Structure 1
């Protein structure tokens, strides 16, 4: 017989009753005892950090994990459901850095790795009791007493053992990938993290000229909102199928090459310029130009400082000529790799350290934080006659949320 449900039912009270019932009868442990002789079902549960409190994302994922393991148990398997704790990485280090006022790797080195690790270990279980309470309240059956922690040597040794199996089978290779990077935390970020904190910001907007080697009176012009990447320029990219023009600026009589559809990026009216020639972008392939800076001029011997082609160049913004800094753009890296300007077994040009400051190779701006150097780079280019136009540009840009 089904008992009627009261119209004034209190769901929190019902929840507490069920939790108390499970506790009194030790339902989860009884469940494990009853299934101990069954075939084992192994479920690898990605562990959370206990340095922060659980949020709705954890609750959603935890509910799904609980459904999977309950279903496996009810399908005739024994399922060890051990809770785990992630004790490594940025969330822990960030909390310690914030507490101790650590600004970067140099501060960690002064403190010493052993002391730094000790400080991190002291906080890895900071919110363990809150986690246990939240997980139980959501009705998830999981073993907290027989938990595991990624800082256990036997856990780390297991991970390295698995990695070695992959390596021995030839399934591991060393490569380079352009990723979002936090100069405050000195570490790459996941795409998920980098998408968490977009802000509308005013950035410098510059158009610079790249004189052709075989005709110094003509220069390709490229647009960028990241002047700090210009010292790392190794190529210029155009779209092979779009129409480009050789155009004379009437006021200065300087001659530029740019995409015809983007003339408005430089000129306000047709009276300001005279078109001298029109041609598809593919006619520019392989043309050599003079680099903006001499820091990496030797790269010209291996194919750098030439015009390359790719259809990622669009006609919606810029000049239709895109400057390529392989270490700072995924498309830049891909295109320069295709044209053998950079090699897979060599690190691309990257004169910026993990804290976002220029290295000694970039002599005029060494030690400067890249965004602070923007104005100095613009000034340098203007003095060298390589700056065509400078303004500001408002756009949405990702920032490390920390």
Structure 2
């Protein structure tokens, strides 16, 4: 067999389009699933991203690794379905819509209309989902976007309620108390991820305050405990000073001309 001579120059965009077209015309990805027996199935759960923007470097890197894993098990003869999914609930999408509509807080959302606000959230999810499909396909990753799932779909939410009821029927649900981040602006608890969304390093003022003890120690006329704080405005409301019985404290004599 005689192979054609390589061209003097290569157009990577043209090569990309040619490969994409060949995969699409031959249904290469779909056939890689259809030709495997469902008995020999490999379950691949793809954690859904938030549909609040285009994929960044982290998404592309993780997506490439996921594609490598799925292709490996496909080449081992397993049926690997790869339904893409979208996380449509939570604050990231709501923040995106608030900025778009110029709203701030629950009262303004209710005045605007919760139904219209929700519909805007849905439209943003659908728009970003289509843009993600284009980018993920161009990066060469095989994923099923025709049968994707969205957490805002009624069928998906009903399946979650079904699982919760099953756990309830088996007495695996309990009620308890725990400390969680809370946003007073939106009036709702936050997940750890949501609490860190707007995290940034800032310069805060701090002061060290002397708290005088009622009784001096070791014969000293006055003994003070030093406390460091970045919220000095809370000092007037202080009623006690906490110490750690397991910690080691130092008593230092200071002569500064005062008692």
| TM-score strictly above 0.5 | yes
Give me the whole-angstrom Cα distance separating, in 2, the residues matched to 1:243 and 1:20: 72
Alpha-carbon contact 2:207-2:232 (below 8 Å) kept: yes
How far apart are residue 214 of structure 1 and its match?
Answer: 5.4
How far apart are residue 15 of structure 1 and its match?
Answer: 2.2
RMSD of the TM alignment (CA)? 3.4
Structure 2 counterpart of 1:237, from 232, 243, 249? 243
Structure 1 counterpart SS, 2:148: strand
How far apart are residue 22 of structure 1 and its match?
Answer: 0.5
Give me the whole-angstrom Cα distance separating, in 2, the residues matched to 1:120 and 1:232: 44
Structure 2 counterpart of 1:199? 201
Alpha-carbon contact 1:209-1:220 (below 8 Å) kept: yes
Whether 1:224 aligns to 2:239 is no
Alpha-carbon contact 1:51-1:126 (below 8 Å) kept: no
Structure 1 counterpart of 2:36? 35
Check 1:191–1:29 CA distance in 2 against 1; reply closer, same or farther (3 A cut): closer
How far apart are residue 235 of structure 1 and its match?
Answer: 4.5
Structure 2 counterpart of 1:368? none
Structure 1 counterpart of 2:72? 71
Deviations 1:314-356 (A, max 9, x none): xxxxxxxxxxxxxxxxxxxxxxxxxxxxxxxxxxxxxxxxxxx
Give me the whole-angstrom Cα distance separating, in 1, the residues matched to 2:83 and 2:141: 12
Check 1:196–1:114 CA distance in 2 against 1; reply closer, same or farther (3 A cut): closer
Alpha-carbon contact 2:180-2:190 (below 8 Å) kept: no
Whether 1:131 aligns to 2:132 is yes
Structure 1 counterpart of 2:63? 62
How far apart are residue 245 of structure 1 and its match?
Answer: 1.3
Give me the whole-angstrom Cα distance separating, in 2, the residues matched to 1:232 and 1:122: 49
Alpha-carbon contact 1:166-1:172 (below 8 Å) kept: no
TM-score where L is the length of structure 1: 0.53
How far apart are residue 26 of structure 1 and its match?
Answer: 1.4
Check 1:200–1:65 CA distance in 2 against 1; reply closer, same or farther (3 A cut): same
Give me the whole-angstrom Cα distance separating, in 2, the residues matched to 1:100 and 1:233: 45
Structure 2 counterpart SS, 1:244: coil
Check 1:33–1:173 CA distance in 2 against 1; reply closer, same or farther (3 A cut): same
TM-score where L is the length of structure 2: 0.78
Deviations 1:52-110 (A, max 9, x none): 11111111111122122222222232222212122111221011111222222332344
Check 1:173–1:104 CA distance in 2 against 1; reply closer, same or farther (3 A cut): same
Aligned residues: 251
Structure 1 counterpart SS, 2:140: coil
Which of the pair is proportionally richer in helix? 2
Bigger shift: residues 95-104 or 167-176: 167-176
Check 1:15–1:118 CA distance in 2 against 1; reply closer, same or farther (3 A cut): closer
Task: Please list every run of 5 or more consecutive structure 2 residues that lacks an aligned counterpart in the other structure.
Answer: none
Check 1:149–1:2 CA distance in 2 against 1; reply closer, same or farther (3 A cut): farther
How far apart are residue 131 of structure 1 and its match?
Answer: 1.0
